[in-house]
Structure 1
Amino acid sequence: MKGTSILLAGLSTFAAAAHAQSSVTLYGVADTNIEYVSHLGTQTPTPGNGFNAGAAGSAFRLTSGGLSGSRWGLRGVEELGNGLKAIYVLENGFGLDDGKLQQGGRLFGRQAFVGLESASLGKVTFGRQYTTLFSALANFSPTAYAGQYEPVVAQLGLNVRSDNTAKYTGTFGPMTAIAHWSFGNGVAGNGEVPGQFRRDTGYGAALAYASGAFGATVAYDQFNPTLTAGGSTGTFKKAAVAASYAVGPARIMGGYRWGQNKDAAGATLLRDDYYWVGVNYQVTAALALTIAYYYDDVKNLGGINIKNPWQALFVADYSLSKRTDLYLSTAYAKNAGLNFDTSAISFANGYFPGNGKDNMLGVALGIRHIF
């Protein structure tokens, strides 16, 4: 009887230790706002309707994801010993205004990956993940990639999340190295087609430096999307540099992104130089302000001459607690809709100016809860 008690006690201790070495975290963001938009078109411009956005009008609406995309996710870690961990993330995106799935109706459309992480060597992950360019520039985004009024797609491309991707991230002192390879991103085509290895592939690499008040990064991204039903692929290249510096309660940041998109025959579809600058200012412990300016110098758009789009942004964010905040976001875009929609660069965000309009104003009052 005594031996049995000792055995049971030993098994209980082992089970408790095993349980302590693993963890699963449920997390998420619920973000919604009431928005006013000027000069908004009545329909989405498409090749089928001749890129006609319809008549212009003002819109008052409830929208989801002002400062952060609404989401919920599971993050898991298992300690394997000797500084090695198994890790995974499953992250769902949803519209808080209507409860619908985002990212094309995917269950875990924001992120879905598994991998290994070493305390000394870095981590390798496999699945649907953010590209290297996205990760490298995240700390130099004035609004931390707020989807409502920051031109993220124009800056990074439609492949900001990449399917079928292997990614490496390693931090060594003040330096961080990032690289990824996608076997086939389904954003433009099918990806991973037998006999067509290049189709929808993508890759990138970056180095980032952070020490004290100063940070900087340099990054490269290439995406080879399907452009025709026959499977011909383009070559979309982007390279970027960015830096930031903290002075007291203020943090100043800015960057430059070079871009070149070519079709299968090597003809230029788009060649542009994209610039941004911004300031984060912590007025009090509860109140933070952000101002930013974005400009896209379009050198070549398939032989079409367009006026260069620019956008100014202002955000006031007030924290009610560590998890809940109220915010005011406003932006004005010229020669495009907000986030550079209808500039023939994005068409991704739904801010299409109506016929005869070349500018747009957006104002949003919102609440965000982080859990």
Structure 2
Amino acid sequence: MKKRLIALGALSTMSGVAQAQTGVTLYGVIDGSVEYVNRVAAAATTPGAGGSRFGMPSVGGLSASRWGLRGVEDLGGGTQALFVLESGFQWDTGSLSSAPLFNRQSYLGVQNKSYGKLTFGRQYNAFFDGMANFAPLRFAATYEPGIWWMGLDYRADNMVKYTSQFGPLQAAAHFSFGTGVAVQNAAVVLANGGAGEVPGHFSDNTSYGGSLMYLNSTGFGVSVGADVWRPAAVTGQPGKVSKYGVAALYNTGPFKFTAGYRYNKGELANGNTLLRDDYWWAGVNYQATPALGLSLAYYYADMKAARATATAPQTSPPNMQQVSFLADYNFSKRTDVYLSLGYARNGGLSFDSAATAFAFKYPPMTGQKSMVGVTVGLRQIF
């Protein structure tokens, strides 16, 4: 694959850093595909119905379609003001992927080459900033368990985030006064829509975390990160979701190797465990020609404990596994075509489940042991 900064899912998290002059830029990506999936339920609420599905998924195979505006203003002395407004949309219908308009990112801030960047608003958290470069498929919208890995709060409202670069070392930290995530998982709806910022209940729906990422010019990288989220199903009674991760990558010639581990524990307000798992991944990318890149990835979730609902008894679900393959051919720096395949065992593709609020639209059928998906698509960046 051509080397790009972070996955396209985080395309604008680096916005403004390299710009040196005042200006506003319109940017975006449109990614459309045709997909075949077998053994997928008609809906998460009707897992007994379903079968094979063939059609156009609303989210692209590699990137979620979006458009945005980003701008910087030179304030002198190496300091700049900046903003990003980014909106997702469904490429197949043109409708917004969800309300409000700038549902992906909406933040402003200041940055200085010597002191770093401070931003305020809806944005990716520091855990995501530290981990996304280590995704084997560059945080692909299809067939990569991104939300399972990062958590439902990987992008959150009401956030203050600080990022600084010290040569090859990037440090980031964030605090959200209210994440704006509506559910803890598909079965636990949060009070106040997860907005937080409730008078007298400061901890409700807050999140905080940080990451340290080292990427050098010789092709070696390593990162550690953490995120703690306090979702409140009942006002004044927040639970706790804790994620900790470590990842590494190595480039040598046409090959890139990535691997990592993420710990997760989700707790209800009464201390009962909602979900506990260890997530592992490994991948290899091979630049076969200047235009053609091939990727192969393996994902594994060691399921320790889970509850189907907040009041259900604790169970130990089967461990989920997935193998993904991607062939991506670049016509230019802006346009590529791709073929992607995924095979999942003991769950839906991308580990789609109650824990991801079925965000990927791959709810497994009752009794289903495996799921296969194939998608072919075209992507253009502008």
Aligned 8 A contact 1:261 1:268 in 2: yes
For structure 2, the 5+ residue unaligned runs are 1-19, 183-193, 308-313
Q: What is the deviation of 1:190?
A: 2.6
Could you tell which deviates more after superposition, 354-363 or 67-76?
A: 354-363
Deviation at 1:266, TM superposition (A): 1.4
Aligned residues of 1:225 and 1:235 also touching (Cα < 8 A)? yes
Structure 1 Cα separation of the partners of residues 272 and 173 of structure 2? 28
Q: Secondary structure at the match of 2:131?
A: helix
> Sequence identity, in percent?
50
2:114 matched residue in structure 1: 120
User: Structure 1 residue 256 and structure 2 residue 250: aligned?
Assistant: no
Match of 1:149 among 143, 146, 168: 143
Compute the TM-score of the two structures, normalised by the length of structure 2: 0.88
* SS of residue paired to 1:355: coil
Paired residue type of 1:173: G
Cα distance in 2 between the residues matched to 1:344 and 1:361:
20
- Does 1:216 find its partner at 2:222? yes
Q: Give the secondary structure class of the aligned counterpart of 1:227.
A: strand
- Cα contact 1:56–1:355 (8 A) shared by 2: no
Residue aligning to 1:58: 52
Instruction: Give the counterpart letter for 1:319 in structure 2.
Output: N
Quick check: 1:225 aligned with 2:231?
Answer: yes
Residue type matched to 2:83 in 1?
Y
Bigger Cα Rg: 1
Code of the aligned partner of 2:364: P
1:74 maps to 2:69: yes
Q: Is the 8 A contact 1:325 1:367 kept in 2?
A: yes
1:119-167 CA-to-partner distances (Å, cap 9, x unmatched) read 1111000000001111111110111111111111111110011100000
Listed one character per residue, the Cα deviations across residues 166-189 of structure 1 (whole Å, up to 9, x for unaligned) are 001000112110000000011132
Correspondence list, 1:1-371, <5 A:
21-45=21-45, 52-63=46-57, 64-102=59-97, 104-188=98-182, 189-211=194-216, 212-228=218-234, 230-302=235-307, 303-342=314-353, 347-371=358-382
8 A Cα contact 1:56 1:357, kept in partner: no
Distance 2:93 2:259 in 1: 35
Per the alignment, in what secondary structure is the counterpart of residue 294 of structure 1? Answer: strand
Q: CA deviation at 1:355?
A: 2.3
Which one-letter code corresponds to 1:368 in the other structure? R
Q: Distance in 2 between matches of 1:21 and 1:149?
A: 38
Q: Deviations over 1:204-245 (max 9, x none)?
A: 1111111121000000100001223x4421110000000000
Letter in 1 for 2:43: Q
**TM-score, scaled relative to structure 1:** 0.90
Q: Which runs of 5+ in 1 are unaligned?
A: 1-19, 46-51
Shift of 1:345: 5.8
Instruction: Return closer, same or farther for 1:346/1:251 CA change in 2, 3 Å cut-off.
Output: farther
Distance 1:21 1:43 in 2: 49
Change (3 A) 1:306 1:243: same
Partner residue of 1:17? none
Following superposition, the deviation at residue 43 of structure 1 comes to: 2.0
Cα distance in 2 for partners of 1:117, 1:200 equals: 28
- When the two chains are superposed, the root-mean-square deviation of aligned CA atoms in Å is 1.3
Counterpart amino acid of residue 153 in structure 1: I
Residue equivalent to 1:13 = none
1:76-98 Cα offsets, whole Å, 9 max, x none, are 01111111011111011000011
Bigger mean CA deviation after superposition, 349-358 or 200-209: 349-358
Does the residue aligned with 1:331 lie in a helix, a strand or coil?
strand
Name 2:5's counterpart in structure 1: none
Alpha-carbon separation, structure 1, partners of 2:49 and 2:296: 31
Q: Which amino acid aligns with 2:81?
A: A
Q: Give the partner amino acid of 1:30.
A: I
CA distance in 2, matches of 1:301, 1:94: 33
Code of the aligned partner of 1:39: R
Deviation at 1:44, TM superposition (A): 2.3
Runs of 4+ in structure 1 displaced over 3 angstroms? 342-346
3-state SS, counterpart of residue 105 of structure 1: coil
* Correspondence for 2:16: none
Q: Which residue of 1 aligns with 2:10?
A: none
Residues 290, 262 of structure 1: CA spacing in aligned structure 2 closer, same or farther, 3 A cutoff? Answer: same
User: What letter is aligned with 1:162?
Assistant: A
